[in-house]
Amino acid sequence: MSIVHYEKYDSLLVAVDCIVFGFDGSELKALLIKRDFEPQIGKWSLMGGFIHQDESADDAAVRILNRLTGLDNIYMEQLHCFADVNRDPGGRVLSIAYFALININDYSQQLMFTHNAQWYSLKDVPELIFDHNTMMKAALEHIRSKAANHPVGFALLPAKFTLPQLQNLYEAIYDSKMDKRNFSRKLLSLNILIKLNEKDKASSKKGAFYYIFDEENYKRLEHEGIKFI
């Protein structure tokens, strides 16, 4: 590939940083790693890496997340490109932030240890390197506006889940309580839930019925959008 027309221009280092949200049934958490290289080695950070000459930003994000979690097919979206001149004291580096949603039980424990990774409740997120706290904040705002119009359960919940779990997820995202009667009425009216003849007895004596998503209707709503809250 020729760059003959552009040779007089500056080129820059471009990184990808991933904000990974997970849900453990009651709290929304973010995956952080203890940075193992300079500058700022030892501080908490988002998982990131540099984009290679021959890969797209999306591909870089997939590569980096796979390295951290061992997972493929992660739900992921580009969030924003952070491009202040001095955002990284190690040099002029742009960072394209991606945000990802994963089922907290799917990731590889092994890789977690390898990367010194840890799940943090959103309230307890520590001070991060560079502008990573800003990225985290932007990602939280994004998931909130996203969840208001699009179903986000598939990515964050196990395949079988209960209505109370789904409600917990929404309550965690918005950090507020909802009325269970209104919540279940709303969700059931969307025709994206299929009730199973099986109960989860883990969190109550009576037990709560499991549901799965109706993939077809779910994907349609994911694409078209709906009013959730």
Choice from 11, 182, 197, 223 touching DNA (CB under 7 A): 182
Number of Cβ within 10 Å of residue 221's Cβ equals: 19
Nearest-CA neighbor of 210 among 155, 152, 168, 160? 160
Question: In the complex with DNA, which residue's Cβ is closer, 69 or 165?
Answer: 165
Q: Minimum distance from CB of 125 to a copy of itself (Å)? A: 24
| Residue in 24, 43, 57, 112 binding a copy of itself, rule: CB under 8 A | 57
Q: Which of 194, 196, 204, 225 binds DNA (CB under 7 A)?
A: 204
| 224 makes contact with a copy of itself (CB under 8 A) | no
Structure tokens at 162: 């209960």
Distance CA 148, CA 158 (A): 20
Beta strands in 35-108 (DSSP E): 44-45, 47-50, 75-82, 93-103
Position 39 contacts a copy of itself (CB under 8 A): yes
Residue 184 site contact among a copy of itself, DNA, none (CB < 5 to 8 Å, cut-off depends on kind): DNA
In this structure, are strands 28-34 and 117-121 parallel, antiparallel, or unpaired? Answer: antiparallel
Q: Helices 180-189 and 163-174: crossing angle, nearest 10°? A: 110
**Residues numbered 137-166 forming contacts with DNA, rule: CB under 7 A:** 162-164
Q: Catalog residues that contact a copy of itself under the rule CB under 8 A.
A: 1-6, 9-14, 37-39, 50-58, 78, 80-81, 83-86, 90-94, 96
